[in-house]
Chains A and B, each alone.
Chain A
Amino acid sequence: MAHQVPILRRPVHRGSVGMAETIKLEVARYSPERDAAPRFETFQVPLRKEWVVLDALNYIKDRLDGSLTFRWSCRMGICGSCGMMVNGEPKLTCATFLADYAPAPVRVEPLRYFPIVRDLVIEMTDFLRKLRAMKPWIIRKEEKSLPEGEYLQTPQQLDSYKQYSMCINCMLCYAACPVYGLDPLFSGPAAIALAQRYNLDSRDEGANERFPILSQHEGIWACTFVGECTEVCPKHVDPAGAIQRYKLTAAKEWFKSLLLPWGVR
């Protein structure tokens, strides 16, 4: 029955796992108990069209080595947990497709410039401390009483800060910033962009409180405008733009303080 052969062959052909259908993942491993420095471990994982790097890491954890440690949560680019270095570039691993790198191996490392706790997990307290210092919340001189109703805002007023409010605190911008790597005191791209998110909000009255933190050397002036933070941002926040614009604001404030008498400032 020769006419049946093509029909029979098809599933057999699909079921076989050839070399072309897998991809090598070189994953950085670091055990604080055993290792003096991170090392790489290579895993062979299935290469599927719809698989992202995070799927491959979960495959490793489920099937190959349950001790692999990494952070993830939402799988849809909004929680900001799964940021890692993929082939040397800061990426959200939930939005980085394996097929884009095939057939070459994919190298996965923890986010650059942060201390490594274990495997792909970094220590982020430094970022959280710097973010908090920026007072990223709406500051009012006097709160409106409840009967006065909500704080209204026009679409145009919303538009002036909306871009910065898209930040998901994934810290890819820190891993892209050589200034942060070389000068760990630098407040960093996301923290400054989020300070601007509130400074530019028409409901906020806290710009003066944020000014001394932003305008010190470790604030905006440490930035040399490498611009890579904006390039790697998965949410198109443009932290580099936020910093440069605040440099202009700070320079204007400085001129004002020079020219105007005390009372008018």
Chain B
Amino acid sequence: MKSNNAAPGYSLFHPRWYRPRVSTYWWLHQWSYLKFVLRELSSIFVALFVVITLLQLRALSHGPQAYADFQKWMKSPAVIALNAVSFVFVLFHVVTWFHLAPRAMAVRFAGKRVPELLIVGANYAAWVAISVVVAWFLRGG
């Protein structure tokens, strides 16, 4: 925000307005703002999960030795800690975005707007269904 240093002095037609500055820590002043910043930050951890999956695929393509090394790396305490933090952020990411979904989609059915809860519920249902499919694959393998 521009400061009002250049503002003219008070006169009848040019009142001297006070222009408040936005604090650098505006996101700490309100829980809803902090939640927003954490939600934005969570995308970094989502990306991290994607990178780890890509590394896993790379290790897989490089043969059994490379994959064993990858698994050993995954078991190191630092990586476990990082993954634990990432997991919490990814969960936060999922939940916050699921709850924002009905705001971004105005789904209409038979002339009426589909209730918000139903859209959120559908997202959760899809999440559970896909997780079951993944679990089924893992158990099969």
Chain A contact residues, CB within 8 Å of chain B: 30, 32-33, 35, 37-38, 88, 112-113, 115-118, 123, 156, 178, 181-182, 184, 224-228, 230-231, 238, 240-241, 244-245, 247-248
Contacts and interface: CB of A to CB of B under 8 A. Distances in A.
A115 B103 contact: no
B41 to A, nearest CB: 12
Question: What class of interface size applies to chain B in its complex with A?
Answer: 20 to 34
B137 interface: no
A244 B104 contact: yes
Contacts of B19: 115-116
Interface of B is mostly: loop
B1 A33 contact: no
A116 B104 contact: no
Interface string B11-44: 0000111111010001101101100100010000
B22 A182 contact: yes
Nearest to A184: B1
A72 B45 CA distance: 47
13 contacts: A88-B29, A115-B18, A117-B15, A178-B26, A224-B40, A225-B100, A225-B104, A226-B32, A226-B33, A227-B103, A241-B103, A244-B104, A248-B104
A244 B32 contact: no
Given A88-B29, A248-B105, 7 more contacts: A32-B17, A115-B17, A181-B22, A182-B1, A182-B22, A230-B103, A248-B104
Interface of B: 1-2, 4, 10, 15-20, 22, 26-27, 29-30, 32-33, 36, 40, 100, 103-106, 111
A227 to B, nearest CB: 7
Nearest to B27: A178
A262 B2 CA distance: 42
A35 B1 CA distance: 21
A189 B2 CA distance: 21
* Smallest CB-CB A-B distances: 7 pairs: A244-B104, A115-B17, A32-B16, A116-B18, A241-B103, A181-B22, A226-B36
Given A241-B104, A244-B103, A123 B20 contact: no
A133 to B, nearest CB: 20
Nearest to A245: B106
B103 A240 contact: yes
**Which among B18, B40, B106 has the greatest number of chain A C-beta atoms within 10 A?**
B18
A156 B111 contact: yes
